[in-house]
Structure 1
Amino acid sequence: MNTAYRVWDGEQMHYWDDEGLILELMGNEWVLWRDFGDGCSVSIAESHEEGKALMWHIGLLDKNNNAIYEKDIDISDGEPMIVVYENGHYGLKFPDDSTYFDFCMNWKECEIGGNVYENCVLVEGVE
């Protein structure tokens, strides 16, 4: 099972291997904690908070050996597509067409140019 994740807290991205992070999963809910090691921890982001997002690593790398996560942006064909998880499969969607879904048979051809939270300019104006 893949346990690599990242969480957008509304301002910055936190990765599974950042020191002191603890992801607590409770059904469909989640909380990302920062453990300071002295018995003190603080919530960084929670699933019910607006603008927060948990994204899983899909377990594959792009053509530049970058880890691919949900909500990453593939820029390989000049038309940005967003990595999504739908009906038990990872695939790509155009930002302006929620009905199109490409199963992306060869993820090694993808080129990740960022993600929808930190690099939204890559998908702006696509309509």
Structure 2
Amino acid sequence: MGRFAPMNAAYRVWDGEQMCYCGDEGICLSIGELGSIEGKVFGWSVWLRGYGVIAHSGDLKSVLMNGTDQFQTHSRLKRIYAGDIVKQEETAPGGLFGPEPFIGEVKMIDGSWCIVNEKKEECRPLFSETATNKVIGDVYQNPELLEGAE
């Protein structure tokens, strides 16, 4: 029998066509055993009450993403997720990274949430006491935002 994700955990799933947020009306995440009785396979599935499974770890197109503990700055509470494209701007004069905005993908690296810009070969912490973060898209629906991120 599968286990349900805790209510305080934040997850979302890209199903190949749209983003589904666990906890939205009727959307549930199940993590546990999937597959045959003989060989136990562990994975996840997202299902919609009344319709059944809409995405799962074995469908080769869906991606499960964890929510970070950070929210977009100066906005209603909008959680930042792995795979989001974030624009980070320093607010303090002489800030740690300078005045230029930094754009990159949110990733978990060695246990810390980071903003990664592959083109610049640079990585910055998502959390900053002297910078603001704004979600400008995600890598599935807006990959072009990373192509121009310099």
TM range (shorter): 0.7 to 0.9
What count of residue pairs does the alignment treat as equivalent?
122
Contact 2:84 2:138 in 1 (8 A): yes
Pick from 6, 14, 31 the counterpart of residue 45 of structure 2: 31
1:71 lines up with 2:94 in the alignment: no
Gaps of 5+ in 1: none
Pick from 80, 87, 97 the counterpart of residue 103 of structure 2: 80
Residue 12 of structure 2 is matched in structure 1 by 6
Residue range with higher mean Cα deviation, 24-33 or 113-122:
24-33
Residue 3 of structure 2 is matched in structure 1 by none
Gaps of 5+ in 2: 1-5, 34-41, 90-100
1:5 & 1:111 partners in 2: Cα distance?
19
Normalising by structure 1, we get a TM-score of 0.79
Residue 63 of structure 2 is matched in structure 1 by 53
Residue 44 of structure 1 is matched in structure 2 by 54
2:24 & 2:13 partners in 1: Cα distance?
11
1:126 & 1:76 partners in 2: Cα distance?
12
Contact 1:80 1:95 in 2 (8 A): no
1:102 lines up with 2:116 in the alignment: no
2:20 & 2:30 partners in 1: Cα distance?
14
2:32 & 2:123 partners in 1: Cα distance?
29
1:113 positional shift: 0.4
Normalising by structure 2, we get a TM-score of 0.69
Post-superposition, which runs of at least 4 consecutive aligned residues in structure 1 deviate over 4 A? none
Contact 1:8 1:53 in 2 (8 A): yes
The one-letter code of the counterpart of 1:89 is S
Residue range with higher mean Cα deviation, 114-123 or 69-78:
69-78
1:105 positional shift: 3.6
Residue 22 of structure 1 is matched in structure 2 by 28
The one-letter code of the counterpart of 1:106 is S
Q: For the structure 1 residues 76 and 126, does the alpha-carbon distance in structure 2 shift closer, same or farther, using more than 3 Å as the test?
A: closer
